[in-house]
Structure 1
Amino acid sequence: MFDYRGYGWVFWEGVQITILVGLCAAVVAILMGLIGAWGKLARSRPANLVANAYTTIVRGIPELVLILLVYYGVTILLQRTLTALLGSEVLIDIDPFTAGVLTLGVIYGAFATEVFRGAFLAIPKGQIEAAYSFGMSRVQTLWRIMLPQVWRFALPGLGNVWLVLIKATALMSVIQLEELLRWSDIGARNTKLPFTFYLTASFIYLGITVVSMLLQHRAEVWANRGIRRA
């Protein structure tokens, strides 16, 4: 049943790219989430409007559509814009890895925005007021009082975002990024064993999910050390 006919190596190649894309996209998502949460909680109305528009639009459009828009649409738009400005033809090629990381990062940054917004709101206001009363600036209060607690409140939500993001890397196969699903498809086509390769790929995704959940649990325990629960 699990005879890969010499193509078992494709899974290792695919897993490496899948995890690398997932980690890089997660970094982008966290940065976008922090910026988006700041925009939603800021007293500036323009910042509120931009942040709300970002989360509404991104969460309302399917991931696959956004991936195709970034990979094909943004490339064409940049080429036409630069050609018009420079007066000569300009060729721009966004590689699949960069397109995948940026697209997934921006998409799941919208979900991370809501996670961070909830985490910031969960911090007792009395602690923030106490920090100000001790003469701390806004930056000092953010760095010393808010951020350490934000991570503790945000970890469960960020863990869920990661689990969805790592599975969404499979969508990158449509732009020829050689991640796990793409390599599995190559192996399946060459051996004529689609069930074997896709089933193995599904077990690998499941394994990544289980390991991620275990790591998330340990991170939550570490973040909540010293916290007394009622």
Structure 2
Amino acid sequence: MEQLFGLLSFGPDGWGDEIAAGAWLTLRLAAATLPFGLVLGFAVALARNSHRTWLSVAGNAFATVFRGLPELLTLFIVYYGGQILVQRIASLVADEYVEVNGFVAGLVALGLVFAAYASEVFLGAFRSIGRGQFEGAAALGLRWPAAMRVVIVPQLVRLALPGLANLWLVLLKETSLVSIIALNDLLRETSVAVGATKEPFFFYLVACLIYLAMSIVSSFGIVGIERWSDRGMKR
């Protein structure tokens, strides 16, 4: 057992620094994907909730496509399809080879999937807010942007938060997919360590515990945000 824990030491004789670097990349990828997915998901929900037919159809099509495709397939399409697109654009400017950054490809692919599911959460929250809230804001003379910011969005956040929190936890786990495109996240570094040491159970157990720790810490943060959003609702 002591020998196994020695494999997690930092330095040339252990894999602790590689595992830590992979965990840090996983956190950075998830944290960078979250705002992108939230903003895009909110925009898609607005489109789906719009009375304009073309916006509603476009929003529903986006949600249907990226909820229907497997996440891994979406990642391949963004990574390899983006590679082809960027290369063709670059060939028009200069005859050079341009490689798509794996981190950016992972961010975009996971963000698209996150946005598709987040749009469902936001749409449900929109429809839970009474029409009277919109009419009351209009009666006070608030224009649409001001009404959204002052009246609708604060209620929307409270209603959507449980669903978005669940999507965040799912996103943390889905970052493991980027190991397929040779991005050195936690799962890829763990797999490299397993190949070098022939200790699959130990290293995959360590990876499980790290993912679990991330989820537990996130859960505490989510509880704090929920209390903040409910601060005016409890007596």
TM range (shorter): over 0.9
Aligned to 1:110: 116
Distance (Å, rounded) in 1 between the aligned partners of 2:186 and 2:94: 39
Aligned sequence identity (%):
37
1:151 to 142, 154, 157: 157
**1:42 offset after TM fit, Å?**
0.9
After TM superposition, give the deviation of residue 187 of structure 1 in Å.
Answer: 1.5
Q: Which residue of 2 aligns with 1:17?
A: 25
Shift of 1:135: 0.9
Larger RCO: 1 or 2 (CA < 8 Å, sep 6+): 1
Whether 2:42 is the aligned partner of 1:43: answer: no
SS at 2:15's partner residue? coil
Q: Does residue 181 of the first structure (1) align with residue 209 of the second (2)?
A: no
Offset at 1:7?
1.2
Structure 1 position 27 matched with structure 2 position 26:
no
In structure 1, the partner of 2:148 is 142
Say yes or no: does 1:160 pair with 2:166: yes
Which of 80, 83, 90 aligns to 1:75? It is 83
Change (3 A) 1:87 1:25: closer
Match of 1:205 among 208, 211, 231: 211
Alpha-carbon distance in structure 2 between the residues aligned to 1:47 and 1:127: 23
Counterpart in the other structure of 1:196:
202
Deviation, structure 1 residue 93: 1.2
Looking at structure 1, the residues matched to 28 and 202 of structure 2 have their Cα atoms a distance apart, in angstroms, of: 24
| Worse overlay, 201-210 or 2-11 | 2-11
Following superposition, the deviation at residue 89 of structure 1 comes to 3.7
**Alpha-carbon shift at residue 70 of structure 1 (Å):** 1.0
User: Where does residue 10 of structure 2 map in the other structure?
Assistant: none
What is the CA–CA distance in structure 2 between the aligned matches of 1:121 and 1:218, rounded to whole Å?
Answer: 25
1:155-177 per-position Cα deviation (integer Å, ceiling 9, x unaligned): 10100110111100000000111
How far off its partner does 1:132 sit? 0.5
- Structure 1's 81 and 8: CA in aligned 2 closer, same or farther, altered over 3 A? closer
Alignment coverage as a number of residue pairs? 227
Residues 90 and 98, structure 2, Cα contact 8 Å, conserved in 1 = no
Partner of 2:69: 61
Q: Which ranges in structure 2 are unaligned for 5 or more consecutive residues?
A: 8-12
Answering whether residue 118 of structure 2 is matched by residue 125 of structure 1, we say no
CA distance, structure 2, for counterparts of residue 206 and residue 133 of structure 1: 49
Question: Is the alpha carbon distance of 1:82 and 1:7 closer, same or farther for their aligned partners in structure 2, counting shifts above 3 Å?
Answer: closer
Structure 1 outlier segments of 4+, above 6 Å:
none
Instruction: Name the TM-score, length of structure 1 as normaliser.
Output: 0.93
Query: Residues 86 and 100 of structure 2 are in contact (CA less than 8 Å); yes or no, is this contact kept in structure 1?
Result: no
**1:113-158 CA distances to partner (integer Å, 9 max, x unpaired)?**
0111111222222122111111111111011101111111111010
- Give CA deviations for 1:196-224 in whole Å, capped at 9, x if unaligned: 11110011111111111121112111100
Give the CA RMSD over aligned residues.
Answer: 1.6
TM-score by length of 2: 0.91
